[in-house]
Structures are given as C-alpha cells and as structure tokens.
Structure 1
Amino acid sequence: MSNKEKKTDVILIGAGVMSATLGSLLKALAPEWEIKVFEKLANAGEESSNEWNNAGTGHAALCELNYTSEKPDGSIDISKAIKINEQFQLSMQFWSYLVNSNLIRNPQDFIMPIPHMSLVQGEENVVFLKNRFKALSKNPLFQGMEFSDDPEKLIEWLPLIMEGRTLNEPIAATKIDSGTDVNFGALTRMLFDHLKNENVEINYKHSVKDIKRTSDGLWEVKVHDINSGKIECHTAKFVFIGAGGASLPILQKTGIPESKHIGGFPVSGLFLVCNNPEVIEQHHAKVYGKAKVGAPPMSVPHLDTRYIDNKKSLLFGPFAGFSPKFLKTGSNLDLIGSVKPNNVMTMLAAGAKEMALTKYLIQQVLLSNEKRIEELREFIPNAKSEDWDIVVAGQRVQVIKDTDAGKGTLQFGTEVVSAADGSIAALLGASPGASTAVHVMLEVLEKCFPQHMFEWEPKIKEMIPSFGVSLEANPELFLEIHSSTAKTLGLSTKELSYS
C-alpha cells in the first residue's frame, strides 16, 4: 500500500462523455492545468455513454413529446422544448469547433442526420400533436417541421409502421429532417484520445474508494489500482464526479452539506434489436410515441434507426426494469448502500409518492418476450418475433430530493450538485444527459470557477458562439450557426430561412 500523495490541479472521476467534455473545455481554457482521470473500467465510455447503453438520440426536443406539456386550456407549453433545443445547439457548436480545429476527426463516426418524428393514435392525441406542431413551427428553432394525419402521407414517411395497419382510429405524425443520431460512445472515445494528446493522465482500472477534504482545503481521492492492488492517494484543487450511477455514492463520501437529503432510484433498460436487414432498410427515422401512464420519461417508446460501428441498426424500446445496481457493472448492494441517516426519510417519502412508477416497473419486469413483441407491434403491426433480439441497455439513477414540491420528489433530468466553494461538483440524473453535456459542463464552470469566467469568456465564445445568447430571440444567429455546424459535422439538412 502506497500512501504517497500525488498533487494535481483537476481530478475527473469517470471516463464518460461528461468528464470527456469538461476535460476538453478545461484544456482549451486553461491548457497549463494538470488533469488526471480515474475510471474503474478498462476503457472510456463503457457505461452510460456506451452506444448500446443509451438511445443515441440527439435530444433537441424535435420529437420527444414529454418536453411539451398541455396546459389546462389546451394550449401547449413549449418552454422546456426551447430550452433543451438551445442546449443541444451548444453541444453541436462545441463538436464543430473540435472538428474544425482538427482536435477530433471524422464526425460521421459519431453523428449522422436522421429524421425525428412523433407518432400518436387516437383523436385526443392527434389534437394534442397538431396543437404542439402549431406551437413549435412558429418558433425559428423548429423550422422545417411537418405535420400529417393523412394515411397516404404517413405511408410515404413511415412505410414499415404503416404496413398492415388497420386504421380504426385517427393517427398522425410530425416529421423534421434536422434530427440526429449520436454515437456517444464513439464521441467519448474520440474526446479521450484528444485529452491523451493534450497530456491528460488517464488511469483506467482505477476505482475510487474514498474522498475527503484535507486541512489545506484540497480534496484527497483514495484510488485502488485494480491491476496492481495498490492504494494511491491523489490530491487536487478541484474534483468532478462524472461516474454515471456511481456519482451519488461517491458524492456521499465527500460529506459536503449539498450531498445530504439526496437519494437515487435505479432504473434499468432493455431494447429490442432487429436482426433482419430487410426490415432495417424499410425504416429511416427516430419515431417517438407517448409514455404510458405512470411510466418515467426515460421509458417513452421509440423506434430508432441507429448507426453503430458505421452499420445501420433498428432498435425499439426501452423496456424498463429494476436492478439494485447503480451501474451495469455495479453491485447488488448499491441501492441499500446509498441509504443514509440523512436521506432515509427522503427515500421513504418517494416510495410512498411513486406507487404508479413502482407498479409500472413491476409490470415491466414481468413482461415476457412475446409481450414485448406485442408492444413492438403497436409500432410495427407485422413484426415477427424471430426478427428481434433483446439487448440490455444501461442503468440510470433517477435523483430523489426534497424540493418545494415536497419531500422525496423524483427528479427527471440532469442535475449538477456542487460545494458552496466550487471545489467539487457531481453530475446526477438521466435524460437528456449526454446530448446537453456541453451546457451542463458550462454550468459546472460557472458554478465552480466564477473567478475565471471573465477571462475565459472570449475563448468560450470562440468555441461556442451562442454562449450566453438566446438563439430563439436571435433567429438570424441561429440560422448562421445551424448552417455552419451542419456543414462541419456532415449533416446534409434542408436549408432553413427566416422570414
């Protein structure tokens, strides 16, 4: 055992897309800072960021119905959709900067253009979708969106979904061609290759065992080298915990007040993957439906064209499941181990309030393969069970915390928890997650390095031109940025114009 302390400026825990993004931003803004990364697994992007562990949707609120809620008067609140779209634009700008600067190459290996569509059935849902379309299409961020409830047009848009369908109730869809499929696993690996070239020390097979504050205000991270068995102690001025589901247990070890009264509830996922090339070729879109009553937003059913390892695939899901693990490679003791005296009442309150979610998860766990195929047939009426295999997706830990809405409130989203002095931060939560990584990491910079933001701002604006600017309020700037990023990233979308 070695207790020799090794000092550095920044420690990143976890080698996922969040740490990769923060590390890349910091290397651009403060190239002289020394950065170390510790990852429990053998490679980067192996958990939540891995291409098989997420839906690969570039979340820009183009098709996700849960980002547009219906008000009591029937009008549609699009404020969340605007916010998420603008956040995704930040990611696109940063990726474009990295490509233009030759810091990462071959964008087609991680991002591809794909139409994003919403599909609903039933008179009430069709009215909702039409109202949603009217509200969004007035906004410059959603230019190019089309709506149709004409079966002939839907056959043209969605041949696989419409084939064999008995039209005994109204059906409608929206379509926008500027959507994307993003391979976050490939992107993460590219970013870590870039960081390695920038002399960032990346330590794989290193598991964080403890983290505590030292008397001189630094953070001491105790790390287990899995290969050698040695325990190492590293100290840093700033620590970022971006370890996916494991972020909560690591955050709890810090003992900071902000880590109290926060719990986590793990939800696992499964996808059906098509193994028939003829079926795969009949569909070209990401098609999102409506979540079932009681289902978490991450369980919105969708039929996705995906590009993984430069090969076209077709996935349907996700089907939710339950595992007490916080990571796919975690322990069955993760959930019980995360319950502490300071959050036990928060966790119990959530359990009492979320009976619908509990019931939904139980039903999902008990689904047979044939029942899953039946759900698939709501999208593809002629689906054959022999054409589809099951793939286990990633674990997501939904945040539970005390809020103004009450004790033990389940949070659906991505959340940064940081110490009051900005010396440590952790990322918790799930969707939209990786799609908004740049926005979230800019939030980390603003929270944790306020003293540097003035000097960093020119470089940030060079990398991300819309930083601090509303694209919705500046449609000409949006069009300019949209055109530029689409060209750099190889996204041949329709030319937009503002009128």
Structure 2
Amino acid sequence: MSKRETNTDVFLIGTGIMSATLGTLLKELVPDWKITVFEKLANTGEESSNEWNNAGTGHAALCELNYTVEKPDGSIDISKAININEQFQVSMQFWSYLVNSKRIHNPKDFIMPLPHMSLVEGEENVDFLRKRFKALSNNPLFEGMEFSDNPEKLKEWIPLIMDGRNVNEPIAATKIDSGTDVNFGALTRMLFNHLEDNGVTIKYKHSVHDLKRTKDGLWELTVRNLQTNTIERHTAKFVFIGGGGGSLHLLQKSGIPEGKHIGGFPVSGIFMVCKNPDIINQHHAKVYGKAKVGAPPMSVPHLDTRFIDNKKSLLFGPFAGFSPKFLKTGSMFDLITSVKPDNIFTMLSAGAKNMGLTKYLIQQVMLSKEQRMEELREFIPNAKMEDWDLVVAGQRVQVIKDTEAGGKGTLQFGTEVITAGDGSIAALLGASPGASTAVQVMLEVLNKCFPQHIEEWKPKIKEMIPSYGLSLMENPALLEEVHTSTTESLITTEKEPFFS
C-alpha cells in the first residue's frame, strides 16, 4: 500500500547537525517555505551528531596538528588552519545570533570553554611544534596561544599527563584558552525543537529508499514509514541529503552526473571513557597528539575533557576500527552495494593506493584492551585498566574520488558537498571537521543551490553572521568585535565548570 503526499518546498534527509543548520538558516531567510524532514530513527541527532559518536571538539585548528603541515623548506603552512578557524568563527556567530534572538536557550548546555592543547615528544616533534607556534601566534586568529617545553610549566597545565612521566626526552605543548567543547547532539536537538515549534514537519521512523526527478522538475522521494510499513511518495523542489554515511547511496540513486565516480570507505571509532571521578577531575583540556604513521587524520590521539548531560567526562581515542556499515544503524552490505559500474575503478585504485591504511585498520581492530591501555599510557603514564571502559563511537565514511592532484581513487579526508548543476539537490559527504564548520558548509549550499535568492538574502545573513563575505584575519577590528560578542553570548563565565 502506498500513498502520495505533495508538495513541499524543501526536503531534509537526516536529522543531524547539517540538516538542522540548513533548516534553521532557511527558516530565518524564508520563513514561509514549507520544510519536511525525514529521519529513519526515532529521535534527532542519533548518528554522527550524537555526543557519544564524535569528539565534541570545536574544531578551530587550535590544537589539531594535521591542519598545519611542514613544507620541504621547513616552514609551516598554516593556510588550512586559518580556513578552518575562520569557518568555526562563522558557526560561533550564528549560534550567538540564535541565542540572542531567543531561538535557542541555555548555551552552556551545548558549548563550554575549554583549553585546547597540542602535546609532542622527541626533539624533531618539539622543533615542529615550536615552528608551528611561531607561525600561528603571529596571526590574530590564534592570539593568546602559549608554548612551553618546560616540564614544570607542563605540570601546571596538564598534571594528570605529567604525573609519573619520564621527562628525559624533550617534551613540549601549546595551550590556548579560547578553545571549546561542543555537544553537537544537544545543539542538534535544540535546533530541531526550534524548527518543530516553527512549523517544520519532522517525520521520524521514515526511511528514504529512492528518489527521482519528475517530468515537471521536482524531486519525488519514495519513503517507507517504518511504523506502518507503508510506502509514501513525497515531492519537493529542493532536496538536501544530510544522512551522514547514508548520503552516498541516496546520492547515487539520484542519478545526477555530479555524483558519478565517487565512492566511500567506512572507518569506525572507539573511545576509552574514564569512570573514576578522581581521575576525571585532574584534567581540564583537550590535548591532541600526533597521528601515528599510516593513520588517517580522524585517528589523531587526544585526551578530552567533555561535558555531556551536565556531567564532566574524560575520553581518550579514537582507536580506528572497520565495519562495512556506513552508519552505526546501517547494513553490513553498505560498502559492497556502494560499488557501482561508474566508481568501481575509482574504488579499486583507492584500495591499491591505501594498503598502508588497510594494514593500520587491521592492526587497530586486533588490539586488545591492554594494548589500548598501553596507547593511553603514552598520555597518562599511571592509567589503570579498571578506571576505563570502551565505547564504540560513530561511523565515518571517507570520500573517494578522482582528483587532478591525487589521480584516480584519491581518499579525501574532509567535508564535501556535492550539488546538482541546477542546484535542485545537494548531498553532504565526508567527515572532520564536519559539525564545527556546519554553518559555513550550509552557506555554501545556499550559494550553490539558490543563487537567484542570495542578493535578497544577504542583509539577513549579515545580521546573523557579521563577518559574512569577509576575512576576519584581514579585519582585526571585526575579529575582536566578533570574538567579544560571541564570547558574551555563548561562553559561561565560570572558570572551571566542574559538575558532579
């Protein structure tokens, strides 16, 4: 049995942070447009956006060493760090607007101030970190960053990490207090609650099985209502596929040429979670190290203070794992069914190029808890097994595509939007920095998919995001103004917000 429902302006597929952000932007810009959201699960933000399925880092390139690359001449390329920082500032401005205009409330429920640190050992790594610090600290976006290779100073910054550590080997860290811990699950739920209160329809337990163009240029979605086990058909002018790892299959089903020759490779994550409150309260920072040789960027080890459900937590990881599923709630056949005639050679080329990654993932999957503890002890020398549990985090699907720089079958580590030439459909693929840059990414979707409206929307966008169209790095006065206003709106004044 099937039934037909028509006619909506916008479909959002998936209730993660990306769909939440795009829906909120559209509701501000064109409040009379009808928006319908489809979610196969019973609640919003249960996959990649859920607070237990990601690191909760407000990615602003303050501590992530993989965003700064040492060039052959020894200098440090900070262009990617600048770009990511600017994008995170856009998110902060939009969240600040939503709080100030009472669209969402209680910002401490989704964002908390937290120092961001980079930590390295060994003479070569210390030299790299010192050069990185000099390059970044000269930039206004990274004002306030400190560097130290003095073990006594590091004991003040990170007592848990320094306790019991042999400091015969060179060790150094950078620290910047303007970092954040962001609960993207809580934020996602806030945004969708706001959207529901303002007329957006969210259809839970509705799984989108297919989509196709109609003769009149609309998109028709074939949707299974999982509660009644009936098929529904819905049509809309514009579709955004924000289904996390599930986006690739729907992009392929759309048949748009822009979706050809694109594949995906799933990587899962495992975190160690501390269950000893005494240990948890000895640490107050996000501390990122360097990725092991052959490891994907998403596997950079870090020891994170987190704030989840108004409770302070401590997580270490992630350890990479492998599952052929594209979502935690996906199918074991996701990977194999994503291989199509148009992308099979792209996928095979990626496999041949990334044997090191395959070997690394196999090694990670085979790790025992004790072996994971040994990696944890590189951060916390005195860590005890009984204080830590394992938690399976989210699935991430890394994009595989043919590029000029990397050739056929290049594995992409980042966030990517695929849009149809006519702008009628867009799909979000990829992983980190993901959620932290959601607002900038969704602004790009608006630019690509609604170019006819952008000029009339600009005043409202500028109201929500004062730096829209400008570089904060090149406008220090605006940067200071933005930083002050977003801090006042979003950041609690408690210095060390520990919770019981």
| Structure 1 residue 406 corresponds to structure 2 residue 407 | yes
CA–CA distance in structure 1, aligned partners of residues 394 and 466 of structure 2: 33
Q: Residue in 1 aligned with 2:488?
A: 487
| Structure 1 residue 463 corresponds to structure 2 residue 498 | no
User: What is the Cα deviation at residue 208 of structure 1?
Assistant: 0.3
CA–CA distance in structure 2, aligned partners of residues 157 and 111 of structure 1: 21
CA–CA distance in structure 2, aligned partners of residues 173 and 15 of structure 1: 38
User: What is the Cα deviation at residue 3 of structure 1?
Assistant: 3.5
CA–CA distance in structure 2, aligned partners of residues 414 and 241 of structure 1: 14
Do the aligned residues in 2 keep the contact of 1:486 with 1:493 (CA within 8 Å)? Answer: no
What one-letter code is carried by the residue in structure 2 that aligns with 1:185?
Answer: G
Q: Residue in 2 aligned with 1:35?
A: 35
Do the aligned residues in 2 keep the contact of 1:288 with 1:301 (CA within 8 Å)? Answer: yes
User: What is the Cα deviation at residue 277 of structure 1?
Assistant: 0.2
User: What is the Cα deviation at residue 446 of structure 1?
Assistant: 0.3
User: What is the Cα deviation at residue 306 of structure 1?
Assistant: 0.1
**Matched pairs, number:** 494
CA–CA distance in structure 2, aligned partners of residues 225 and 432 of structure 1: 33
What one-letter code is carried by the residue in structure 2 that aligns with 1:10?
Answer: V
Q: Deviations over 1:30-51 (max 9, x none)?
A: 0010000000000000000000
CA–CA distance in structure 1, aligned partners of residues 486 and 197 of structure 2: 24
Going from structure 1 to structure 2, the CA distance change for 1:491 and 1:473 (only over 3 Å counts) comes to: farther
What one-letter code is carried by the residue in structure 2 that aligns with 1:219?
Answer: W
Summarize the alignment of residues 46-195 of structure 1 with structure 2, pairs less than 5 Å apart.
46-195=46-195
CA–CA distance in structure 1, aligned partners of residues 362 and 4 of structure 2: 49
Identity of aligned residues (%): 78
Q: What SS does structure 2 have at the residue aligned with 1:25?
A: helix
What one-letter code is carried by the residue in structure 2 that aligns with 1:482?
Answer: H
Q: Residue in 2 aligned with 1:420?
A: 421
Q: What SS does structure 1 have at the residue aligned with 2:2?
A: coil
Give the superposed CA RMSD.
0.8
Q: Residue in 2 aligned with 1:332?
A: 332
Q: Residue in 1 aligned with 2:16?
A: 16
Summarize the alignment of residues 439-454 of structure 1 with structure 2, pairs less than 5 Å apart.
439-454=440-455
Q: Residue in 1 aligned with 2:204?
A: 204
User: What is the Cα deviation at residue 491 of structure 1?
Assistant: 4.4
Q: What SS does structure 1 have at the residue aligned with 2:422?
A: coil
CA–CA distance in structure 1, aligned partners of residues 392 and 302 of structure 2: 16
Do the aligned residues in 2 keep the contact of 1:12 with 1:239 (CA within 8 Å)? Answer: yes
CA–CA distance in structure 1, aligned partners of residues 26 and 230 of structure 2: 29
Q: Deviations over 1:130-157 (max 9, x none)?
A: 0000000000000000000000000000
What one-letter code is carried by the residue in structure 2 that aligns with 1:338?
Answer: S
CA–CA distance in structure 2, aligned partners of residues 466 and 296 of structure 1: 32
Q: Deviations over 1:402-451 (max 9, x none)?
A: 00020000000000000000000000000000000000000000000000
CA–CA distance in structure 1, aligned partners of residues 289 and 33 of structure 2: 46
CA–CA distance in structure 2, aligned partners of residues 6 and 468 of structure 1: 36
CA–CA distance in structure 1, aligned partners of residues 169 and 70 of structure 2: 21
Q: TM-score, normalised by structure 1?
A: 0.98
State the 4+ residue runs in structure 1 displaced beyond 3 angstroms: 491-494
Q: TM-score, normalised by structure 2?
A: 0.98
Do the aligned residues in 2 keep the contact of 1:15 with 1:243 (CA within 8 Å)? Answer: yes
| Structure 1 residue 25 corresponds to structure 2 residue 25 | yes
Worse overlay, 3-12 or 308-317: 3-12
User: What is the Cα deviation at residue 492 of structure 1?
Assistant: 4.1
User: What is the Cα deviation at residue 6 of structure 1?
Assistant: 1.7
CA–CA distance in structure 2, aligned partners of residues 168 and 122 of structure 1: 10
What one-letter code is carried by the residue in structure 1 that aligns with 2:409?
Answer: G
Q: What SS does structure 1 have at the residue aligned with 2:3?
A: coil
Q: Residue in 1 aligned with 2:498?
A: none
Summarize the alignment of residues 289-328 of structure 1 with structure 2, pairs less than 5 Å apart.
289-328=289-328
What one-letter code is carried by the residue in structure 2 that aligns with 1:425?
Answer: A
CA–CA distance in structure 2, aligned partners of residues 321 and 402 of structure 1: 25
Gaps of 5+ in 1: 495-499
| Structure 1 residue 348 corresponds to structure 2 residue 354 | no
User: What is the Cα deviation at residue 355 of structure 1?
Assistant: 0.9
Gaps of 5+ in 2: 496-500
User: What is the Cα deviation at residue 5 of structure 1?
Assistant: 3.5
